[in-house]
Structure 1
Amino acid sequence: MRELNLDQLRTLVTIADLGTFSAAAGALHLAQPTVSLHVSELESRLGAALVVRGGRRVLPTAIGAVLIERARRLLRDADDTLDAVKRHVEGRVGRVRLGTSTGVVVNLLPRVLKEMERAFPEIDVEVSILGSSETMARLEQGTLDIGLVATPMAKPRGIVVSHWRSDPMVAYLPAQWKAPKKVSAEWLAAKPLIFNDASTQMYRLTMEWFAAAGCSPRARIELNYTEAMKSLVAAGYGAAVLPLEHAVKVELSKMQGIRVVPLAPALLRHVGVAHRSASTLDQATRNVLDTIAQFRQA
């Protein structure tokens, strides 16, 4: 026997619910002969009558009632399957793998994730804490979907990078230190320093700033966790050069033991959004990218 036809099963169920062929035809937007044909073909395939015709209301036979009960479940499963696939196609559900640095995770990414939870609660954004170079490598390998990376930097073939934001780099100093209104590389190089890990883009950016002034300072400690660096500053261990994001500015009054001073000359940390070619992205990834774009600097 050939496989059952879902359209024919839906017709049979609708007849049972509404009681007549004509009412089912109207509800399904079918011609009445088509409704009759659907039932006749089902009966022919099963070799049994499914409905009792001739009365004011069409009633199912005993075999018809068994089929209608099973058909309701099949149709629900089919509708659920189509809805699940549609939600994936529309990007309302899915898993998106995102790589970013610790600084972005602490101050910027939470706002993005909060908006994602509001707009797309069924998209799971899986976050990996990585340096920009490793993020780029994993995008090329296909083990990440999106990266928030320091720019400029070399990008692999097939990877697109667009500007997201630029934040000023500032000196985080122990509150008890006496300092000018703006600190120079020469002034800062004479102090104990806390640097980002030497493998990071932040380290490269900071050292280029010092080198432009003819300075080559050494750090007391190098680590790749922004909040830990700030804690060491607050403890008086040394000074750090870190980005000052807008979200951090609001929190400055709550930072105990730290003084934030602008750099002279000014220095900016640029962050870009990296991903594979748009034509290869699923809609869930596109939705995450659209949400990230909402927090792009004007």
Structure 2
Amino acid sequence: MDRLNLDHLKTFADVVELGSFSAAADRLSLTQPAVSLQVRQLERRLGTMLIERVGRKARPTAAGTELLLHAARIDAAVQAALEAVARQSEGVMGTVRIGTGATACIFLLPALLQRLRRRHPRLEIVITTGNTGEIARAVEDNRLDLALVTMPVSSRSLELEPVLEDPFMVIAPPQTQLPVPASPVTLAELPLLLFEPGGNTRRLTDEWFAQAGLSPRPVMSLGSVEAIKELVRAGLGCSILPGIAVRGDAASGALTVQPLSPPLSRVLAIIVRRDKPLHRGLKETLGALRELSGSPSASATSDAICED
């Protein structure tokens, strides 16, 4: 044997504990010759005698006593490993690495992850934020297990599952009279604070203006939806943001919120590698994200605006 046989080590420990080869054989449901053979094989592997008979009692030698100290730790490590594997198969365990945009991370995931953690408290979740291109590449490279991103995503190695349509809204400081309709022509005349270039949110906004033959220059470009909202509240201009980011502000009156005309929306989709093995924790996380397909987020924004 190149390595210690755990069964032989257990047999040796039982003989020492019970002081008898026959008693160890009864406990292990083996014959006494089988117990003796396992102890001899362990002794040959270690090159030393481990048990000696003192009268009718089997006692450990000095080497056997030393081995017992290690055997206890080995047994504890083996038990811990078996329990960990059992928990993995019987419950939801392990780590799930999720990628998403900052807006979805702030306004969609908290409630979803709270429900997921309540159901599966042993599941460890790691969140990474970035733009769609960065996140998609990380999923392709298996640095992330799955992601919730803004469409479109183009990759043959990824499975795409749209789960939520999120309408864009124009926002302005409280009590502001926005133009009706909030069209590209009317909004292009206002001071605009927009997302910084590079992400799908800004690209969709630019395309919305471009369809009307316009290319407005924002007074500020920022990478944070919360920063944009604060600056709009401070009266520095208007902005166009995803509906999920402003539904609370629409309901509370913290901002003036109005739909765009013509409507503009983005589609959020789950992406995962086509060949990704789905362990139980990952399956549960996918199931939780699919609940977004019935999310009231978009309708809640519209309802809050109508109530105003």
State the alpha-carbon separation in 1 of the partners of residues 256 and 250 from structure 2: 9
1:270: how far off?
A: 0.9
Q: Which residue does the alignment assign to 2:9?
A: 9
Q: Which residue does the alignment assign to 2:289?
A: 293
Q: Which amino acid aligns with 1:125?
A: V
The verdict on how the C-alpha distance between 1:211 and 1:23 changes in structure 2, with shifts beyond 3 A counting, is farther
State the alpha-carbon separation in 1 of the partners of residues 159 and 76 from structure 2: 42
Contact 1:173–1:233 under 8 Å retained in 2:
yes
The RMSD of aligned alpha carbons is 3.6
TM-score normalised to structure 2 length: 0.76
1:92: how far off?
A: 2.6
Alignment of structure 1 residues 175-190 onto 2, 5 Å: 175-179=174-178, 183-190=182-189
The verdict on how the C-alpha distance between 1:285 and 1:157 changes in structure 2, with shifts beyond 3 A counting, is farther
State the alpha-carbon separation in 2 of the partners of residues 284 and 126 from structure 1: 18
Q: Which residue does the alignment assign to 1:67?
A: 67
Question: 1:180-202 CA distances to partner (integer Å, 9 max, x unpaired)?
Answer: 67633333333222211222211
Q: Which amino acid aligns with 2:38?
A: H
Q: Which residue does the alignment assign to 1:125?
A: 126
Q: Which residue does the alignment assign to 2:195?
A: 196
Q: For residue 222 of structure 1, give the secondary structure of its aligned residue in structure 2.
A: strand
Q: Which residue does the alignment assign to 1:169?
A: 168
State the alpha-carbon separation in 2 of the partners of residues 221 and 67 from structure 1: 71
The verdict on how the C-alpha distance between 1:76 and 1:156 changes in structure 2, with shifts beyond 3 A counting, is same
Q: Which residue does the alignment assign to 2:228?
A: 229
Q: Which amino acid aligns with 2:267?
A: H
Question: 1:81-120 CA distances to partner (integer Å, 9 max, x unpaired)?
Answer: 5556777899733473x43222112212333444565525
State the alpha-carbon separation in 1 of the partners of residues 12 and 194 from structure 2: 73
Contact 2:12–2:39 under 8 Å retained in 1:
yes
Q: Which amino acid aligns with 1:40?
A: R
The verdict on how the C-alpha distance between 1:25 and 1:173 changes in structure 2, with shifts beyond 3 A counting, is farther
Match of 1:268 among 262, 265, 268: 265
Contact 2:92–2:122 under 8 Å retained in 1:
no
1:241: how far off?
A: 1.4
Q: For residue 293 of structure 2, give the secondary structure of its aligned residue in structure 1.
A: coil
Contact 1:166–1:268 under 8 Å retained in 2:
yes
Q: Which residue does the alignment assign to 2:108?
A: 108
- Give unmatched runs, 5+ long, in structure 1: none
Q: Which residue does the alignment assign to 2:303?
A: none
Q: Which amino acid aligns with 1:238?
A: G
Question: 1:260-279 CA distances to partner (integer Å, 9 max, x unpaired)?
Answer: 222233332211122323x3
Q: Which amino acid aligns with 2:229?
A: K
Q: Which amino acid aligns with 1:60?
A: R
Contact 1:174–1:236 under 8 Å retained in 2:
yes
Q: Which residue does the alignment assign to 2:298?
A: none
Contact 2:191–2:238 under 8 Å retained in 1:
yes
- Give unmatched runs, 5+ long, in structure 2: 295-308
State the alpha-carbon separation in 2 of the partners of residues 66 and 272 from structure 1: 59
State the alpha-carbon separation in 1 of the partners of residues 293 and 196 from structure 2: 27
Q: Which residue does the alignment assign to 1:243?
A: 242
The verdict on how the C-alpha distance between 1:239 and 1:250 changes in structure 2, with shifts beyond 3 A counting, is closer
The verdict on how the C-alpha distance between 1:2 and 1:200 changes in structure 2, with shifts beyond 3 A counting, is closer
Q: For residue 237 of structure 1, give the secondary structure of its aligned residue in structure 2.
A: coil
More displaced stretch, 285-294 vs 160-169: 285-294
State the alpha-carbon separation in 2 of the partners of residues 121 and 191 from structure 1: 50
State the alpha-carbon separation in 1 of the partners of residues 126 and 280 from structure 2: 10
State the alpha-carbon separation in 2 of the partners of residues 10 and 187 from structure 1: 81
Contact 2:21–2:58 under 8 Å retained in 1:
no
Q: Which residue does the alignment assign to 1:52?
A: 53
Q: Percent identity?
A: 32
State the alpha-carbon separation in 1 of the partners of residues 283 and 117 from structure 2: 12
1:228: how far off?
A: 0.8
TM-score normalised to structure 1 length: 0.78
More displaced stretch, 82-91 vs 182-191: 82-91
Q: Which amino acid aligns with 1:191?
A: L
